[in-house]
Amino acid sequence: MADKSLDNNNNLKDVRYDHKWGFNDTRFRANPDRTVTVTGNRYTISGTTMPGFIPFVEEMLDIKFDMDDIKPELEMKPVPDPIVNDGFCQAIEQSFSADRYTLDRRERLIHSHGQTTADELNKVLYGSLERYADLVFYPQSHDDCVKLVQLAASHNVCLVPYGGGTSVSCALQLPAEETRTIVSVDMRRMNKIEWVDHENFRASVEAGITGKQLEEELDRLGYTSGHEPDSVELSTLGGWIATNASGMKKNRYGNIEQIVEGITMITPQGVVEQLDPQPRVSIGIQPNSLLLGSEGNLGLITKAIIKIHKIPPVKKYGSLVFPDFKTGTDFLYELSQTAVLPASIRLVDNIQFRFGSALKPTPTASEELINKIQKFFLLNVKKFDPNKLCAATIVMEGTAAEVAHQEKTVYSIASKYNGIKGGEGNGKRGYMLTYAIAYIRDFLANYHITGETYETTVPWSKVHDVIEAVEKLALARHEEYGLPGRPYVSPRITQLYHTGVCIYFTHGFYTKGITNSDKIFSAIEKDLRKAILDAGGSLSHHHGIGKLRKEFMDRTISPASVEMIKELKQASDPQNIFGIRNNVLAD
């Protein structure tokens, strides 16, 4: 079932699935001839019929893909009666119109989970959750939020901020031990740009706006925020701040902490904000720094002042093919030490390179000829190993002169590492495939294949150690648990820094016939996270901690740091009104 009621301003153009990822005009559909088609026309891949998809999955997982064996989803999903705080509900009825809140079972279920595969999504689709929202509230203004927080404090009700629902860290998993009424506060009706300062390139934006809405509104004015996470269509400005998010074009525009100049949050003790946000200030401990990465623990983020940029006059895609992943990483290392990084550059390993090929339609006669020529050149002339070669996708933005300089620098350095240009079309297609990944996850789940992504920040010196540790342990755990076939483990480098990179791992396996497969998946995920830390990686680059990684926080910050955070929480929210219990507050 699709969710229509939550679309802002009664706009039904973008109707979302209730529980799965994305928009309901888009899905991967298996055909009787064992091809796969992408429905709709939303993405560059939409309308594509792919003959290589299923054979690739079979090869990678060493399984037989049974087209008729579809995992049945629960039609009637269990939702218990709500825990009702009569005094609070009466106060809500007296203070707000009826369209601001609901006890509807479907709405409560939608707002009771995020997108963490095994620990949330699979439970809601095929089983049951441990705890459900009791009421959903839809504020439409800052004043609505102030009033709501006051009422919650007066009646001792638990509030949980809800943005796009895209969390993959169990940050939206509701605490099973919470006995109070839990109110999910859906911020997405607060989706306006309040003002734009054209001279100083700033805008004040309500926190419930999605990335898609923000970019569409700014585009009409000739601007962009430049923040483009994989979830940009669905996630919200408030969610980006609460998770300390990163975007694909951070090289040009910065991560969210470089984009935001001011944040407004409502806590039970009042409004927290810097009264006069500036490009940079030295005023001691700053409110903005405390709110970034707060993960719903401290209050409701209602708006932010962000930097905006004129839409660059030139955008150009590119791609490169390298003989192997290590060589591609060496290229990125040298490139990172220059002052000429493209807006985005990402390196995918051989598995993802081949997966990208599997997602292409049957080539025309002319395309097939070109493919044969390119393949002959790579394999016979350049002597690349087809099972080792990898690819980089590139996005360059700026003036014509800037883009030309980026191109010259990137391709000049690439030539030193035997990099071969793969063409602008492949670059654009590879970049845009990012938006299809979660749809692929949900399609494969129908056929007993569970998958998830893990991200980490790694120093340059530890990149290959971390990758090797994850691959080795994933194979070992797969064998120890007696899982069928073999696991899918594939890394890609998505963001570059002066001192290191962000590595994104995709991990999955076939679960047909496996009892408690979700528990096994969760156990392996924790083991892999420990392996990442042991090999020199970080706990998270941009997904956040939530409840999924809470047990590793003692390896990230000192005991005194933990106590400081807990004391801040106690001072700002002594009743634990914002009781989602993420990160070190999970205990």
Residues 6+ apart with CB under 8 A from 405: 340
Listed in sequence order, the residues at least 6 apart from 127 whose beta carbon sits closer than 8 Å to its beta carbon are: 74
pLDDT tens-digit profile of 267-302? 999 999 999 888 999 999 998 899 999 999 999 999
CA separation for the pair 477, 45 (Å, rounded):
34
Co-location of 390 and 303 in the same domain: no
Confidence of residue 2 (pLDDT cuts 50, 70, 90): very low
- The answer on 256 and 234 residing in a single domain is yes
Residues 216 and 268 in one domain: yes
Q: What is the mean pLDDT of residues 308-327?
A: 97
In a domain, 508, yes or no: yes
d(CA 159, CA 555): 29
Q: What interhelical angle do 325-336 and 463-480 show, nearest 10?
A: 140
Q: Among the three residues 293, 310, 327, which one is the final residue of a domain in this structure? A: 310
Q: How confident is the model at residue 14 (pLDDT cuts 50, 70, 90)?
A: confident
Mean pLDDT over residues 131-145, rounded?
98
In the predicted structure, residue 225 carries a pLDDT above the cut 50: yes
Q: For all residues of the chain together, what is the average pLDDT?
A: 94
pLDDT bin (cut points 50, 70, 90) of residue 392 is very high
CA gap 180, 108 in Å, rounded: 15
Mean pLDDT of 122-126: 96
| Residue 494 within a domain | yes
Nearest to 377 by CA among 416, 418, 417: 418
Residue 474: CATH number of its domain:
3.30.300.330
Looking at 242, 276, 310, the residue that finishes a domain is 310
Kindly indicate the confidence band of residue 400, based on its pLDDT and cuts at 50, 70 and 90: very high
Residue 376 lies in a domain: yes
**Same structural domain, 386 and 491:** no
Task: State the average pLDDT over residues 217-226.
Answer: 98
Q: What pLDDT shows up at residue 370?
A: 66
CA-based angle 190:543:468, to the nearest 5? 165
Per-residue pLDDT at 156 exceeds 50: yes
- Is residue 284 located within the same domain as residue 374? no
The domain that contains 418 carries what CATH number? 3.30.70.3450
Expressed as residue numbers, the domain containing 418 is: 314-432
Number of domains in the chain: 3
Question: Could you tell me if residue 484 is inside a domain?
Answer: yes
**In this structure, are 420 and 466 located in the same domain?**
no
Q: Does the structure show a pLDDT above 60 at 147? A: yes
Could you tell me the CA-to-CA distances from 399 to 54, 254, 277, 312, 315 in Å, in that order? 42, 18, 29, 6, 9
Kindly tell me if the per-residue pLDDT of 46 is higher than 60.
yes
Q: Name the one residue in this structure whose structure tokens are 């951070």.
A: 250
Q: Are residues 357 and 305 in the same domain?
A: no
Q: Are residues 406 and 486 in the same domain?
A: no
Q: Is residue 125 part of a domain?
A: no
| In the predicted structure, residue 4 carries a pLDDT above the cut 60 | no
Confidence band, pLDDT 50/70/90 cuts, at residue 5: very low
Within 379-428, strands assigned E span: 390-398, 420-421
- Domain containing residue 291: CATH number: 3.30.465.10
Enzyme catalytic residues: 504
Exposed, middle or buried, 285 (CB in 10 Å: 0-12/13-18/19+)? exposed
Regarding whether 367 and 279 lie in a shared domain, the answer is no
Exposed e or buried b per residue across 355-375, where buried means at least 16 C-beta atoms within 10 angstroms of its C-beta: bbebbbbeeeeeeeeeeeeee
| Residue 467 covered by a domain | yes
Please give the pLDDT value at position 59: 96
201 burial (CB, 10 Å; 0-12 / 13-18 / 19+) is middle
Are 109 and 132 a contacting pair, CB within 8 Å? yes
SS3 (DSSP) at 197: strand
Q: What is the pLDDT of residues 433-489, one digit of tens each?
A: 899 999 999 999 999 999 999 999 999 999 999 999 999 999 999 999 999 999 999
Mean pLDDT of 84-102: 97
Q: What is the pTM of this model?
A: 0.95
Q: What percent of the chain has pLDDT over 90?
A: 90
Q: Please indicate, yes or no, if residue 46 is contained in any of the structural domains.
A: no
pLDDT for the residue 509: 97
Please check whether residues 423 and 497 belong to one and the same domain. no
Question: What confidence score (pLDDT) does residue 12 get?
Answer: 55
Using the 3D structure, point to which of 380, 406, 432 is the last residue of a domain: 432
Quote the pLDDT of residue 170: 97
pLDDT-wise least confident of 159-168, 255-264, 425-434, 547-556:
425-434
Q: What is the DSSP letter of 312?
A: P
Q: Is residue 107 part of a domain?
A: no
pLDDT of 6 > 50? The answer is no
Q: Is the pLDDT of residue 381 over 80?
A: no
User: Do residues 468 and 526 both lie within one domain?
Assistant: yes
Same domain flag for 296 and 347: no
What pLDDT sits at residue 377? 76
Q: Residues 344-378: pLDDT tens digits? A: 999 999 999 999 999 999 887 777 766 777 777 78
